[in-house]
Amino acid sequence: MQIANHWKDFELLDTGLGMKRERWGKYILERPDPQAIWPHDPWARPDARYIRSDRGGGNWDILGRLPQQWTVSYDSVAGRLTFVINPTGFKHTGLFPEQAVNWDLMEQKILNARAAGQTELRMLNLFAYTGAATCALAKAGASEVVHVDASKGMVAKAKDNIHLSGCDQAYVRFIVDDVQKFVRREIRRGRQYEGIILDPPAYGRGPSGELWQLEDALYPLLDECRQLLSPSALFFIVNVYASNLAPGVIKTLLQLTLGQEARQGVIDCQELGLPSNQRGIVLPCGVSGRWLAS
């Protein structure tokens, strides 16, 4: 397991009874997490607690002076990244802090390539959400970052994060589109990238109402994405949340897709985790599969 333990503005305070207690900047939030099946001692009142509804979804119970949004920062390998935090009706905050391990990894790969004289460093972020990875790629000096998400609202938030992270001068293309359709168009155009990261959802609906099911769609998507990797590619990263797919399954998918090509590199797959400082517990937060150039 890889643990994101370099945060200062974020802290996982405690977990248990299906909940997690977090500090985002100076505000304390409590929200559900199905992994936290152990008990916990009583907690003090948070600034907000997410309450699930019997009919699906839920809402935030505001118990303190919580603003609608605020910012947190992360001191990454390439410099400070700053993100807007905005609790939503789906319990999310707009940021997945465990992904900091991937931000640092990608940044270091780009910085090393630049130091070695590589100038073509085109990066692709798929299912890019609010653009934390986009900010990291831009901060490290990628020559181009393409950010793709089907939600216009999420792309707008990503633009805010790019500005807050001081990456206004970076060449970032924001594209509102269905990822599968975009990838197929890029293949037809002959486009290639030196790095790809994707965070596909466990399930959802496509632009025409078609059902997206991760278990059915992931292999063909990875097989198409690998065709966008350039001969001088640095990395390929796929993150999986809220799924029953074990790390070994993701590793096998990468071996069957990227492994069929004569590329020098290593395929690895691990759980990502966040440390809980109060009791020394590490909370699992999904799986990250990677191909890294050697």
Pairing state between β 79-85 and 70-76: antiparallel
Give backbone dihedrals phi and psi of 270, rounded to 5 degrees, phi first: -140, 155
Tell me what pLDDT residue 32 has: 96
Instruction: State residue 209's pLDDT score.
Output: 74
Instruction: Compute the half-sphere exposure of residue 206: CA atoms within 13 Å on the CB side of its CA.
Output: 12
User: What is the model's pLDDT at position 206?
Assistant: 67
Q: What is the pLDDT of residue 74?
A: 99
Residue 207's pLDDT is 64
Beta bridge partners of 75: 80
8 φ, ψ to 5°? -120, -40
Confidence at residue 260, expressed as pLDDT on a 0 to 100 scale: 66
CB atoms within 10 A of CB 169: 7
C-alpha separations of 190 from 7, 113, 184 in Å: 39, 23, 10
pLDDT at 172 (0 to 100)? 98
Series of mean pLDDT values for 10-residue runs along the chain (294 residues): 97 97 98 95 97 87 95 98 94 97 99 97 98 99 98 97 96 96 98 98 76 90 97 97 86 90 86 92 96 94
Give Cα 267 to chain centroid, integer Å: 19
Rg (CA), the chain: 19
Helix residue spans in the chain (DSSP H): 100-115, 132-139, 152-164, 179-189, 214-225, 247-257
In the CATH scheme, what architecture does the domain 96-293 have? 3-Layer(aba) Sandwich (3.40)
Bridge partners, 246 (sequence order): none
Q: What is the DSSP string of 196-217?
A: EEE---SEEE-TTSPEEEHHHH
- The pair of structure tokens assigned to 131 is 């653009």
Please give the model's pTM, rounded to 2 decimal places: 0.95
pLDDT of residue 143: 98
The β-bridge relationship of strands 203-205 and 195-198 is unpaired
What are the start and end residues of each CATH 3.40.50.150 domain in the chain?
96-293
CATH code for the domain defined by 2-70:
2.60.40.1180
**CATH 2.60.40.1180 in the chain, residues?**
2-70
